[in-house]
Structure 1
Amino acid sequence: MEQAERKKMRKAIVYASIHHGNTEKLVKSIAEECQVDLIDAVKQSDADLGSYDMIGFASGIYFSKFHQSMLKFAEKNLPDNKKIFLICTYGGSANYRSIEQILNKKHSKVIGKFGCKGYDTFGPFKLVGGIAKGHPDEEDIKNAVEFVKGL
Structure 2
Amino acid sequence: MRKAIVYTSVHHGNTEKLVKRIAEECQVDLIDAIKQMNADLNDYDMIGFASGIYYSKFHQSILKFSEENLSADKKVFLICTYGGSANFKSIEQILNKKHASVVGKFGCKGYDTFGPFKLVGGIAKGHPDEEDMKNAVDFVKGLH
| TM-score, length of structure 1 as denominator length | 0.94
**1:91-137, CA deviations, whole angstroms, 9 ceiling, x for partnerless residues?**
00000000000000000010000000000001111111100000000
User: Which residue of 2 is the match for residue 42 of structure 1?
Assistant: 34
- Amino acid paired to 1:39: I
User: Which residue of 1 is the match for residue 116 of structure 2?
Assistant: 124
Q: Unaligned 5+ residue runs, structure 1?
A: 1-8
User: Which residue of 1 is the match for residue 6 of structure 2?
Assistant: 14
RMSD: 0.4
Amino-acid identity (%): 84
Residue 77 of structure 2: SS of its match in structure 1? strand
Q: 2-side partners of 1:106 and 1:52: how far apart?
A: 16
Which of 83, 94, 97 aligns to 1:102? It is 94
Q: 1-side partners of 2:103 and 2:93: how far apart?
A: 15
- Which entry has the higher C-alpha Rg, 1 or 2? 1
Q: 2-side partners of 1:44 and 1:18: how far apart?
A: 15
Q: Which consecutive segments of 4 or more residues in structure 1 shift more than 2 A? A: none
| TM-score, length of structure 2 as denominator length | 0.98
Which of 123, 134, 141 aligns to 2:126? It is 134
TM superposition shift of 1:45: 1.1
Q: Unaligned 5+ residue runs, structure 2?
A: none
Residue 95 of structure 1: SS of its match in structure 2? coil
